[in-house]
Amino acid sequence: MKRAAFIGRWQPFHKGHEWLIRTKLTKETPVLIMVRDIEPDEYNPYTTEETVNMITAAFAGEDVIVQIIPDIESINWGRGVGYETNEHKPPEDIKRISATDIRSRVESGDESWKDFVNEKVAIWLEAYYG
């Protein structure tokens, strides 16, 4: 079975990311979410495993596989590779969501960060920061 593939850091997984994934799920296309295996740092505070757990919680019970991949330098393809490449242009309210802003709000105690993440991700993040 073919799946729509998405690659990212997802730090944290937010409603903009979810909108993107749902562009395929709403068309009943199975999804593969690939999490780049990166070392945590100031801009990527969650381990790869924590990120996988966060995304898995967001899509529990849906046709989504979450998988760790090595960090990548680029995405490349040749001719006639048997799949499409698609760009999805989000609406402005989704386009403005920033993982950096979410992390900043969480760290400062500003509860409005919850407006920008899936309810299941909010529960996961609250437990993480517990």
Boundaries of every domain in the chain: 4-71+89-129
pLDDT of residue 78: 84
First to last CA, the chain: 39
Indicate the pLDDT class of residue 4, thresholds 50, 70 and 90.
Answer: very high
The mean predicted confidence, pLDDT, of the chain is 95
Least confident of 26-30, 40-44, 75-79, 106-110: 75-79
For 1-130, where are the E strands, in sequence order? 4-8, 31-37, 64-70
Instruction: Say if residue 31's pLDDT is above 90.
Output: yes
> What is the three-class DSSP state of 81?
coil
Q: What percent of the chain is modeled with pLDDT above 90?
A: 88
Burial of 30 (0-12, 13-18, 19+ CB in 10 A): middle
Q: Which two tokens stand for residue 128?
A: 């993480």
Instruction: Say if residue 130's pLDDT is above 90.
Output: no
| pTM attached to this predicted model | 0.91
Nearest to 35 by CA among 1, 128, 58, 23: 58
Please state which of the four CATH numbers 3.40.50.300, 3.40.50.620, 2.60.120.10, 3.30.930.10 is assigned to the domain occupying 4-71+89-129.
3.40.50.620
Mean pLDDT, range 6-24, rounded to an integer: 97
Instruction: Say if residue 81's pLDDT is above 90.
Output: no
